[in-house]
């Protein structure tokens, strides 16, 4: 029979003998059997791991989550998450931070759905769930004053709180956010004064986000202006009620009905015109109807039924931040809920700290801050960003971990910005018709101004020119800023601050351009001229000398006279002077009198002592620095 022929039904197969079996199949060794057994166990284990499903199918994750924390939230062992990462060619330990997108993918691999949530939201989640209406009490309303520049917002608030804030503002305009607390009929009201100039749109928007009621100030003699309309849009976007204060009604050309007509065209109809918008005619100068305005604010707050829980850990928002030479990083914080106490640990964006001291809006030191209270907080590791959420934390280890993660992320973003082109090369490129990038480093006296400047300058970008802000900071211009400008060929802008002496010397050696300003729209105008090739402003500042104040004398009928030593250059009777305190500009004016001993002097040179008085200014202190300069008028030229 052929070997491949089919068997006939009656044919049977004879079983092979034992000898034939031993010859056909070689027996396996002990090592082979052990290896097969191990492979089988590994295969079964892999199949079990493939079928592992998270015990918790819906979880929340925040930035900086570690492998261990993710495994705990999923309800599985950490080694399973590590193995899944190895399968993805990612080698990590259980303490490794995970990117949010990667954490979401891992959750999906284990059959779970992850919802993103900030660390602050996650930390307060349990507290908010446990809150009841019995825990909450009535809190003070937070009122934001908005309106066009020079319509009297700060003066109105001034009259309410019997202070004088406007006198200290550069150019007569508010360039920071101020938060103040007043009391009416035993009830507190918190006011936030936002700048009115068009460059401060972002700052006004931030004020609207934390507010309960908006007071829109409109000048009775000027009417509705562009920033008035922007303020209306911000208030509507924040979905908060608007109370209109028609200011300057004491002026002879005031027309209240005209203002009401203009506002009615924008959807704000007065109550006496069958509308629902409260409008109060006031005069900040004469103090007219201020009590009525406060009563309307309290009535609106009563309708809103504002509540807060003072027993919970405090949360709030940073309204302003600065670097004080004596006190370190200082932040103006509005406590939205809970009670902030001295000694509390907190997290504020990428800043961690402990409350060392708190000051209220009058400058008095306090121990506790209840809901709707603006306070200055000391004790931060560094200056926080404006608008960051301020939250008290009990898990300090986790809070520090989050802060380190956010700092690293910020450094990565900063390092991703490469070097581009300097101002001189940029100007030449403009003449050649090429589009270039202009790098800028901004230092300001407070964080809000730095943020607004960065936003304003970036908005100046066109198709041919792009303004890129490499760094914003608070405090004097330092050597670190000059070194960054050297590496990236950037220009440095100082707003109400001055460079340190070593930084100034380094900038001179490295030929780094430093432009100093105190009023924002003058800076914007100068940058626009630079962007079209006019690198020199119409007026150029010529430095004359640096004078140190050694003693201060109060003389009747004369005022304050500073006993000075001319450390560098010279000072003349025609000089303009800039008074610096801790490298921050506090006043700019002119020389009123210059004397050598008892005699008038036309000029005093380096190495000599003299007496200097400044026109209409007496707040001179020992240790202040006076810079003497003159403004030289230059003809603009496209070749410069």
Please state the domain extents for the chain.
58-117, 141-306, 315-408, 417-535, 541-633
Judged against a pLDDT cut of 50, whether residue 220 lies above it is answered with: yes
Residue 546: strand, helix, or coil: strand
Which residues lie closer than 8 Å to 334 by C-beta, 6 or more apart?
142, 179, 190, 192, 210, 316, 317, 319, 372, 373, 374
CA distance 166 to 173: 7
Averaged over 428-443, what is the pLDDT?
Answer: 66
Average model confidence (pLDDT) across the chain:
79
Cα angle: 585, vertex 588, 589; to 5 degrees: 160
Cα angle, residue 562 at apex, residues 561 and 567 outer, rounded to 5°: 150
Phi first, then psi: what are they for 141, rounded to 5°? Answer: -75, 145
Give whichever of 40-49, 85-94, 121-130 has the largest mean pLDDT.
85-94
pTM strictly above 0.75: no
Alpha helices, H only, 323-464? 396-416, 423-431, 447-458
Domain 141-306 shares a fold with domain 417-535 = yes
Residue of 57 and 167 predicted with greater confidence: 57
pLDDT for the residue 41? 64
Q: Is 221 left (phi over 0), alpha (psi -120 to 50) or beta?
A: alpha
- Confidence class of residue 151 from pLDDT cuts 50, 70 and 90? confident
Give the C-alpha separation, 97 to 401, whole Å: 9
pLDDT > 90 in the chain, percent: 13
CATH of domain 541-633: 2.40.30.10
What pLDDT is stored for residue 356 in this prediction?
92
Hey, what are 432's tokens?
């050649």
What pLDDT, on the 0 to 100 scale, is given for residue 5? 44
Burial 123-142 (b: 16+ CB within 10 A, else e): bbeeeeeeeeeeebeebbbb
Topology (CATH level 3) of domain 315-408: Elongation Factor Tu (Ef-tu); domain 3 (2.40.30)
Looking at the domain 141-306, which fold is it? Rossmann fold (3.40.50)
- Give the residue from 154, 186, 153 showing the smallest Cα distance to 168: 154
Please list, residue by residue across 63-90, b when 16 or more beta carbons sit within 10 angstroms of its beta carbon and e when fewer do.
Answer: bbbbbebbbebbebebebbbebbeeeee
Cα–Cα distance for residue pair 366/343, rounded to 1 Å: 12
The CATH number of the domain covering residues in 417-535: 3.40.50.10050
Q: What is the mean pLDDT of residues 95-119?
A: 82
pLDDT digits (tens, 9 = 90+) for 59-71: 888 777 888 888 8
Give residue-wise pLDDT tens across range 533-568.
534 445 778 889 999 999 999 888 788 999 999 999
């Amino acid at each position: 029979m052929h070997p491949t022929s089919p068997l006939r039904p009656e044919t049977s197969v004879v079983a092979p003998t034992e000898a034939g079996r031993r010859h056909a199949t070689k027996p396996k060794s002990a090592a082979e059997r052990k290896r097969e057994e191990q492979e089988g166990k590994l295969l079964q284990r892999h199949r079990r791991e493939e079928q592992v499903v998270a015990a918790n199918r819906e979880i929340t994750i925040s930035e900086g989550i570690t492998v261990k924390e993710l495994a705990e939230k999923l309800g599985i062992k950490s080694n399973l998450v590590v193995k899944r990462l190895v399968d993805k060619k990612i080698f990590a330990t259980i303490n490794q931070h995970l990117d949010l997108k990667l954490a979401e993918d891992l959750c999906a691999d284990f059959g779970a759905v992850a919802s993103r949530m900030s660390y602050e939201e996650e930390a307060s989640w349990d507290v908010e769930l446990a809150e009841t209406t019995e825990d909450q009490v009535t809190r003070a309303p937070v009122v934001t004053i908005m309106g066009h520049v020079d319509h009297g917002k700060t003066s109105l608030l001034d009259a309410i709180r019997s202070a004088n804030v406007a006198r200290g503002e550069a150019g007569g305009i508010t360039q920071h956010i101020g938060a103040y607390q007043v009391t009416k009929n035993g009830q507190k009201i918190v006011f936030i004064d936002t700048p009115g100039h068009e460059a401060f749109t972002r700052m006004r928007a931030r004020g609207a986000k934390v507010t309960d009621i908006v007071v829109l100030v409109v000048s009775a003699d000027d009417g509705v202006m562009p920033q008035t309309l922007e303020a209306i849009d911000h208030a509507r976007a924040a979905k908060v009620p608007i109370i209109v204060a028609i200011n300057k009604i004491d002026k002879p050309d005031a027309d209240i009905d005209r203002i009401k007509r203009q506002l009615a065209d924008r959807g704000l109809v007065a109550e006496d015109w069958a509308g629902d918008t409260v409008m109060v005619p006031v005069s900040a100068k004469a103090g007219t109807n201020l009590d009525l305005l406060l009563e309307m604010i309290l009535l609106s707050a009563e309708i809103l039924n504002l509540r807060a829980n003072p027993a919970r850990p405090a949360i709030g928002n940073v309204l302003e931040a600065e670097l004080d030479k004596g006190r370190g990083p200082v932040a103006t914080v509005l406590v939205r809920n809970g009670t902030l106490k001295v000694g509390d640990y907190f997290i504020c964006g990428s800043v961690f700290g402990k409350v060392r001291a708190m000051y209220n809006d009058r400058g008095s030191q306090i121990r506790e801050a209840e809901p709707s209270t603006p306070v200055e907080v000391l004790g931060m590791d560094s200056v926080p960003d404006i608008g960051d959420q301020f939250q008290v934390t009990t898990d300090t280890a986790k809070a520090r971990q989050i802060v380190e993660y956010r700092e690293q992320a910020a450094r990565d973003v900063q390092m991703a910005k490469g070097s581009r082109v300097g101002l001189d090369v940029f100007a030449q490129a403009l003449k050649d018709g090429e589009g270039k990038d202009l790098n800028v480093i901004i230092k300001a006296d407070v964080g809000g101004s730095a943020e607004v400047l960065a936003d304003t300058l970036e908005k100046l970008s066109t198709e041919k020119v792009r303004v890129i802000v490499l760094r914003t900071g608070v405090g004097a211009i330092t050597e670190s800023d000059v070194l960054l400008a050297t590496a990236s060929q950037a220009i440095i802008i100082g707003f109400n601050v001055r460079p340190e002496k070593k930084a100034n010397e380094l900038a001179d050696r490295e030929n780094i351009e430093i432009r100093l300003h105190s009023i924002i729209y003058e800076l914007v105008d100068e940058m626009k001229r630079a962007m079209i090739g006019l690198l020199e402003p119409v007026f150029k500042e010529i430095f004359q000398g640096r004078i140190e104040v050694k003693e201060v004398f109060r003389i009747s009928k004369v005022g304050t006279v500073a006993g000075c030593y001319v450390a560098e250059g010279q000072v003349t009777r025609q000089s303009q002077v800039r008074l610096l305190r801790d490298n921050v500009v506090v006043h700019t004016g002119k020389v009123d009198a210059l004397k050598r001993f008892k005699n008038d002097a036309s000029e005093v040179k380096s190495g000599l002592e003299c007496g200097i008085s400044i026109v209409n200014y007496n707040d001179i202190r020992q240790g202040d620095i006076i810079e003497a300069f003159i403004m030289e008028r230059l003809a603009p030229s496209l070749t410069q």
